[in-house]
Amino acid sequence: MHAIRLHVFGPAENLTYEEVPDPVPAEGQVRIDVQAAGVHFIETTLRRGHGVGPHLPPELPVTPGAEVAGVVAAVGPGVGTEWLGRRAVAQLEGDGGYAERAVVDVGSLHPVPDHVDAETAVAMITTGATAQGVLGVARISAHDVVLVMSAAGGLGSLFVQAARQAGAVVVGVAGGPAKVERVRTLGADVAVDYRNADWPARIREALGGRGVTVVLDGVGGRRGREALELLGPGGRFLLHGWAAGEPTRITTRDLVERQLTATWAIGPNMVPSRGWRELAERSLGAAADGSLVPLITRFPLERAADAHAALEARKTEGKVVLTA
């Protein structure tokens, strides 16, 4: 089979398309013939040899990738045959997703709903589940004015749709005219380009003096701080990442003087009683009934290096997916 291999940390072109032996499912595992593999921004950082929070750089050589969708083609010892031939999507315990075949623990499998393709399934198994968890923390209602940072991204595009369905006024911030237009098509009431230095003023003008009540921030840095300044008294600021390289700076004085609440919305804070599996099931269900439609940028497996480069250059929309 073919897989993407990383032998030396560094730029995207260090990802190479190679022929490797087929993986063999061990006890409690199955092998999936991969039709789609998800790509995360964090993987571009790990590829350079830099850790991100609790995520350490992998041991080399490695086949990156932690989520796959396809058809179960083989089962290991102790696994029944009921999964054989079924469409499934799963998160891997480690790496190995950027490949034509991958092994996963049978307990991590989710059946792919009818009328949901492999690319959509892999977009929703982690990114969609994370969106479900963050939205559960945000508790958005029709009374809210919601500002979504990176609104054309994998998470942001889902946040825009969900906030709109909740009846909130939705403000989407994205980089570049094409992405801003995409945010409008997702249902945002206001869409602005953060590349314009006066983007906060444009939002204030568009809202006609009405304050933002919720910010969903996965950008951080200076722009995250500018978003925080748009919150009215009593507003809620939910952080779920820092694509800018550092988290949004928030002080205790901000919280006290402006009556704000700030929450890191990723991790135990967002996980319901049944855990991550419940979030994944909700996400796949939302894709199946059409209530959430992920944006997807597709690359063939052999162009994984191009996918990484485009993601780092902010030239993609929504979830980046490799198709085998």
Q: What is the mean pLDDT of the chain?
A: 95
Residue for token digits 């945000």?
A: 138
Q: Mean of the pLDDT values across residues 249-277?
A: 88
**Alpha carbon distances (Å) from 151 to 157, 218, 251:** 5, 10, 25
Q: How would residue 273 be classed by pLDDT, with cut points 50, 70 and 90?
A: low
For 99-137, what is each residue's pLDDT tens digit? 999 999 999 999 999 999 999 999 999 999 999 999 999
Q: How many CA atoms lie within 13 A of 190 on its CB side?
A: 24
Q: Is the peptide bond before 54 cis (omega within 30 degrees of 0)?
A: no
pLDDT over threshold 80, residue 274? no
User: Which one-letter DSSP state was computed for residue 199?
Assistant: H
Q: Mean of the pLDDT values across residues 22-50?
A: 96
C-alpha span between 323 and 301 (Å, rounded):
5
